[in-house]
């Protein structure tokens, strides 16, 4: 014989009922553990940090004004080194005061290549040149060093970015 009657309510201690209710609610919508909360916060914070760092790098490598224009460096090779450049400064004419700035640092360095004092791919300054010969002038790019000085390299395109330097603002 099958009994279709539902049994009556049984008494259960209040503490046991509270534990079962908490277990059931936790199974339906578990509260995040402290580690999970930390991971949930870490992803957005890391994302914001990456965006800010990338923006900072792009801003740093964008065009930049030099801190001074009185002295420039002309490099014979497209690399940062302590011995591969020639430093140029403009003389102040007699009777004048103030600083003499380079208006076009690329043209100034191009003159050194044209005269043969600098040669692309060669770090040294050549004192012996033939003034009647016109030497090849490579494509030149002007960058700003971390010190704020202007540096001109014998390379075209993204040489400044490749060296981790901003381009000289025009």
Residues contacting 148, CB < 8 A, separation 6+? 66, 67, 68
CA distance 99 to 2: 110
pLDDT of residue 138: 92
d(CA 21, CA 123): 80
CA 88 – CA 118 distance, rounded (Å): 12
Higher pLDDT, 167 or 27: 167
Per residue in 98-141, pLDDT tens? 677 788 999 999 998 998 888 888 888 888 777 777 788 999 99
- In the chain, the percentage of residues whose pLDDT exceeds 90 is 15
Q: Which of 110, 101, 107, 96 is nearest to 149 (CA)?
A: 101
CB 10 within 8 A of CB 2: no
Q: What is the percent of the chain with per-residue pLDDT over 70, rounded to a whole number? A: 73
Query: How many Cβ atoms from other residues are within 10 Å of residue 48's Cβ?
Result: 10
The predicted pLDDT at position 166 comes to 92
> What average pLDDT does the structure give for the chain?
78
Q: How many CB atoms lie within 10 A of CB 12?
A: 10
pLDDT tens-digit series, residues 16-26? 888 888 887 77
Question: Would the pTM count as exceeding 0.75?
Answer: no
């Amino acid at each position: 014989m099958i009994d279709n009657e539902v049994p009556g309510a049984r008494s259960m201690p209040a503490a046991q009922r509270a534990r079962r209710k908490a277990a059931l609610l936790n199974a339906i919508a578990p509260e995040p553990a402290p580690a999970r909360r930390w991971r949930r916060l870490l992803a957005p914070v890391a994302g914001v940090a990456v965006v800010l760092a990338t923006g900072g790098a792009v801003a740093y490598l964008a065009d930049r004004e030099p801190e001074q224009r009185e002295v420039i460096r002309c490099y014979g090779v497209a690399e940062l080194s302590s011995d591969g450049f020639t430093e140029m400064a403009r003389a102040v004419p007699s009777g004048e005061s103030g600083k003499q700035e380079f208006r076009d640092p690329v043209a100034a360095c191009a003159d050194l290549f044209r005269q043969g004092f600098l040669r692309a791919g060669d770090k040294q300054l050549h004192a012996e040149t033939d003034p009647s010969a016109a030497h090849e002038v490579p494509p030149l790019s002007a960058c700003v060093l971390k010190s704020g000085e202007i540096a001109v390299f014998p390379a075209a395109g993204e040489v400044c970015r490749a060296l981790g330097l901003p381009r000289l603002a025009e």
